[in-house]
Amino acid sequence: MNDPLRLGLLGFGEAGQRFAADFIKAGLKNVVAYSRSAAAANPSDTVRVFAASHGIEIAATPKELCQRADLIIAVTPGKAALPALRAVKRYLGKNHIYVDANTVGVKTIERIAALLEGRCTFVDAAIMSAVPLDGIKAPIFASGAEAARFRDVVAPYGMAVQIVGDKPGAASAMKLIRSVCMKGLAGLLLESLEAAQRCGVRDAVAADMAAFIDAKPFEQIIKRFVCGTAVHAGRRIHEMADSLELLKSVGAPTRMTRATHAMFKELIEMQMPERYNGKEPDSIEPVLTALVEARAAR
């Protein structure tokens, strides 16, 4: 890798533009970006005006991007991860670090790793917050044998890379696992608040939920939710049955609540409440271990 850093963004949309601009603000001189529409744009087009006003160079071709950059961060839509890689692959060499920061499945990351094996350094990365909000400060998980090299070259500019494994796929898996909760939580909020809206109590319910979540560090809430759910599944399933009845009576959707009811049913079948005899364990570990074991024994 050349010194100083030469950065290339493969993809120049919301994430690529903000990262490029923030790297330049942080003092990096060599920032080049490629996207098909940016390459084809006229100087007066918004994307070119943005690039010019921030000192970002636009590469005309994938080949030029690779010639002018040593660290390439791919920020295309997930479905474009493989096609975008195929467009640059032949121009990558030993000096390149290719970082896939797209939101993609683990299998795709493993395919990209296999395609780049022996050609250049590859790092799997996952952007863990909204780039328009946090820009270059968005926490980034990274995995792969050379993830530390990526972390070390971007750290001076303020990009915070946390290494989460030595194999490509670990970072993307962590993001997808976290999404189960974050995106699911959004679905639960929508279902609950639509029912509240129908009943004319939307603001009061939203405020009550916000006060509950705000009152304690989220780590304590995780413990309470995981441990309390296992121990009190027998009692809570009745509450969910009543919630379901209420949702149906006001014509609200029930998809998420039916899933919660089914989850309680399964915990009862696994005899989780009996294991703890009404007393919540001190940490989430025994509950999760018991769940994995109970499922394996089925």
Ligand X SMILES: NC(=O)c1ccc[n+]([C@@H]2O[C@H](COP(=O)([O-])OP(=O)(O)OC[C@H]3O[C@@H](n4cnc5c(N)ncnc54)[C@H](OP(=O)(O)O)[C@@H]3O)[C@@H](O)[C@H]2O)c1
Contacts with ligand X by CB under 6 A lie at: 10-16, 35-37, 75-78, 80, 83-84, 87, 101-103, 127, 130-132
For ligand X, the closer CB: 135 or 273: 135
Nearer to ligand X, 78 or 187 (CB): 78
Nearest Cα residue to 52 out of 23, 17, 76: 17
Which pair of structure tokens corresponds to residue 125?
A: 């990365």
Please state the closest distance from residue 126 (CB atom) to ligand X, in A: 7
- For the bound state, the minimum distance from the C-beta of residue 155 to ligand X, rounded and expressed in Å, comes to 19
Q: How far is the CB of 82 from ligand X (least distance, A)?
A: 9
**Count of C-beta atoms within a 10 Å radius of residue 91:** 16
The answer to whether the CB of 116 falls within 8 A of the CB of 98 is yes
Q: How far is the CB of 70 from ligand X (least distance, A)?
A: 18
Indicate left, alpha or beta for 130 from its phi (over 0: left) and psi (-120 to 50: alpha).
beta
Whether the ω angle into residue 4 lies within 30 degrees of 0, i.e. cis, is yes
How far CA 135 is from CA of 13, 54, 125, 276, in Å, comes to 13, 14, 15, 45
Q: Whole-number minimum distance, CB 124 to ligand X, in Å?
A: 13
Residue closer to ligand X, measured from CB, 75 or 173? 75
Query: Which residue of this chain has its Cβ atom nearest to ligand X in the complex?
Result: 13
Q: Mention every residue, 6+ apart, whose C-beta is less than 8 A from residue 39.
A: 58, 59, 60, 61
Phi-psi region of 79 (alpha: psi -120 to 50; beta: other; left: phi over 0): alpha
Q: How far is the CB of 102 from ligand X (least distance, A)?
A: 4
Closer of 84 and 112 to ligand X (Cβ): 84
Give the integer Cα–Cα distance in Å for 128 and 172: 10
C-alpha distances in angstroms, 230 versus 106, 209, 226, 287? 30, 21, 6, 7
Nearer of residues 11 and 168 to ligand X, judged by Cβ: 11
Smaller CB separation from ligand X, 56 or 287: 56
Residues near 135 by beta carbon (within 8 Å), at least 6 away in sequence:
18, 19, 21, 22
Closest to ligand X by CB, 76 vs 243, is 76
Shortest distance in whole angstroms from residue 69 CB to ligand X: 14
